[in-house]
Each structure stands twice: as structure tokens, then as C-alpha cells.
Amino acid sequence: MKSLLTIITFLIFNSTFSQVIIGNNVGTVPAGQKSSVLLEFAAGENKGIILPYLRTVPSGTGLAEGTIILDASNPANSKIKYYNGLISLQSTDGWVDLSSGKSANISNYMTIQPLSGSVTEDPVGKVIIGASNTSADGILVLESDSKAMVLPMVENTDEVPDPAPGMMLYINKAGAKRLAVFNGEGWTYWKPQQ
């Protein structure tokens, strides 16, 4: 908990307009490519990032495209989703399922998540990297039109010792490069179109 508070404090006070590497001072991006990165993670950690567990999925105006969540509105049928704002046959509300239709029962995990009203949440509290302010409603907001986040990288999801629901990472292995998301019961893999 102390190291998490240290990271959050560092991000809040030292990261505006800068690149942040979590886990060490080297990261995974080659030195010549760091100018295009806002946020990256240490190599060889076999860890991912955990998405927020939302009991109520936001809707309507004010949602930022690119928002990624673990939809826990029905804990017995949770899915990882991202918001692209487009209404289609696959998405009637702008949310796209990244779990490939595979849901997970995360009811046991939800018993350790705080309930609404049980914690005091700062409604405007957020960490912004890349700008001094943002209109996006999120806990961690990366603001840039020319820089990106590089996900934590692993060779294989089997190397992650205890994945948690909502975990997201990138498999960086020759011939198998892809995004991986864990919904609580299994991994879903997304690879680039050939």
C-alpha cells in the first residue's frame, strides 16, 4: 500500500507534461522511441494493469472514447469493455466487449471491492499525464495527440502468477504479439489484423 501511495504521489506531483515509467527507470521502450510514450512499465515483471471494476457502467454525454473498464454491473456476467462511442449492431450503447462474448463470474472478487458510499471518493480526483488538465472523466487520464501508453509486456500469459479480473497486458513474443485481457475466468487475445 505504501508503494502504491508513493507511485500515486509521484504521478500527481511530477508527471504533468512528462513521461512516466512505473517499476524502474528504464521501461520497455527502446531509447530512440521514448519521445512517443507518455506511460510505460518495467520489463520482466510478469504483471499487468488492472482496470476499474464498475458496478454501474456510465452512459451518455461526457464519456471519453477510449475508456476501458471491467463491467461488473452484473458480477456473475462481467466483461472487459472499451468505449468507442459508436452505435452499431454489436454495440447499442457505444461500449464494445473485449472479452469476445466470454463472461466471468467475479462475485467473490466484488466482496472485497468497496461499495458506493462506503468510501469517500473525490469526484474530480484523477491523475493526468501529458497535460495540466482534462475534460475526460477517469482516474488515470493520458492526454496527448502524439504520445501513447505502452502496456506491461510479458512473453506469455502463463507467466503471470495470479491474474486478477480486469488485467490487461501485451504479449511481446515473436509470432504471437497481441493484447491480452483477463475477465476473471480466462484470457482473451487480440492480435493485429494481417
Domain segments of the chain as ranges: 2-190
Checking if the pLDDT of 121 tops 70, the result is no
Q: What is the pLDDT of residues 126-139, one digit of tens each?
A: 788 888 888 887 88
pLDDT at residue 107 in the model: 94
Asked if 144 and 38 count as a contact pair (C-beta separation under 8 A), the reply is: yes
Q: What is the pLDDT of residue 29?
A: 87
Instruction: Give the pTM.
Output: 0.78
Q: In which band, very low, low, confident or very high, does the pLDDT at 189 lie, cut at 50, 70 and 90?
A: very high
The DSSP code sequence of 29-94 is S-GGGGGGEEEEE-TT----EE--EESS---STTPPTT-EEEE-SSGGGBEEEEE-----SS-SSS
- 182 compared with 31, residue with greater pLDDT: 182
Inter-residue contact 46 to 154 (CB < 8 Å): yes
Mean pLDDT of 157-170: 94
The pLDDT of residue 116: 65
